């Protein structure tokens, strides 16, 4: 993965877009090591943080759209066959992960396209069940943009903050350390939101 290390070491708007496109397909690119370092450099005056978020979100949308159309046109048997293949394993993919993303989507409805973008292990695969279910594309891209945009804003805030407290040689380690806390916090918030909306729906149905 020397090419990946090279791109991560040369972050600009083009590489941000490309890496986030890959991250939203099935290529194992950690978004934390793309957006947060870019925002870190933006805080130092080398990039514009708003353009970092914009290009990261557009890249995520494009990558998610590839997954969406793969699910829409290829169907479940071919998706599973790829997930279980040598190429799928090289992408850290397997049928169980795809099934997990499907279950999350079908349990939580179309809003899962938004909330799923915030969850580790689900984020880059949630577009596949959206395509399999033939979800309307405009709705898919709207929720994906909101979810990806929120995630990129969180990562950008982290990178911007770390610029004032962490030297660059320690940056990636600190990003991964703080990233774990962020993931746990987001999982908790998404869980609370899901419980709230389910409870609200049940009360409305009962009335």
Q: How far apart are CA 116 and CA 33, in angstroms?
A: 20
- For 141-173, the pLDDT digits (tens) are 999 999 999 999 999 999 999 998 888 888 888
Q: How confident is the model at residue 18 (pLDDT cuts 50, 70, 90)?
A: very high
Query: Is 48's pLDDT higher than 90?
Result: yes
Residues in the chain, overall count: 207
Q: How confident is the model at residue 137 (pLDDT cuts 50, 70, 90)?
A: very high
Instruction: Report the Cα 93 to chain-centroid distance in Å.
Output: 15
Query: Is 207's pLDDT higher than 70?
Result: no
pLDDT the model gives residue 166: 86
pLDDT the model gives residue 85: 86
27 or 73: whose pLDDT is higher? 73
Sign of CA pseudo-dihedral 177, 180, 181, 186:
positive
pLDDT the model gives residue 145: 94
Q: How far apart are CA 93 and CA 114, in angstroms?
A: 21
Q: How far apart are CA 102 and CA 145, in angstroms?
A: 20
Q: Which residue has the tokens 């998610």?
A: 64
- For 27-41, the pLDDT digits (tens) are 878 888 899 999 999
Contacts 24+ apart (CB under 8 A), 85-89: 88/26
Cβ neighbours of residue 186 closer than 8 Å, sequence gap 6 or more: 118, 119, 154
**Contact assessment for residue 76 and residue 85, using Cβ atoms and an 8 Å cutoff:** no
| 93 token code pair | 């993919």
Q: To the nearest whole number, what is the mean pLDDT of the chain?
A: 84
**Contact assessment for residue 100 and residue 116, using Cβ atoms and an 8 Å cutoff:** no
Q: How far apart are CA 114 and CA 112, in angstroms?
A: 5
The per-residue DSSP string of 44-83 comes to TTSS-HHHHHHHHHHHHHHHHHHHHHHHHHH-HHHHHHHH
Q: How many CB atoms lie within 10 A of CB 196?
A: 10
pTM of the predicted model, to two decimals?
0.82
Q: Can you state the angle between helices 13-23 and 49-74, rounded to 10 degrees?
A: 30
């Amino acid at each position: 993965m020397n090419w990946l290390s090279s791109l991560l070491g040369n972050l600009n708007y083009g590489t941000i877009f490309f890496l986030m496109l890959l991250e939203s397909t099935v290529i194992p690119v950690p978004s934390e090591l793309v957006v947060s370092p870019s925002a870190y450099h933006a805080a130092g005056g080398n990039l514009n943080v708003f353009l970092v978020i914009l290009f990261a979100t557009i890249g995520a949308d494009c990558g998610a759209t590839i997954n969406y159309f793969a699910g829409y046109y290829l169907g479940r048997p071919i998706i599973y066959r790829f997930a279980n293949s040598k190429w799928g394993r090289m992408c850290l993919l397997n049928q169980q992960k795809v099934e997990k993303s499907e279950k999350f989507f079908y349990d939580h409805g179309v809003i899962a396209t938004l909330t799923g973008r915030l969850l580790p292990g689900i984020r880059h695969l949630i577009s596949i069940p959206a395509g399999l279910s033939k979800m309307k594309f405009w709705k898919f891209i709207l929720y994906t943009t909101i979810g990806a945009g929120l995630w990129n804003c969180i990562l950008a805030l982290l990178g911007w903050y770390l610029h004032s407290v962490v030297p660059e040689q320690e940056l990636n380690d600190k990003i991964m350390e703080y990233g774990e806390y962020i993931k746990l916090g987001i999982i908790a918030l998404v869980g609370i939101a899901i419980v709230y909306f389910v409870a609200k729906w049940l009360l409305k149905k009962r009335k």
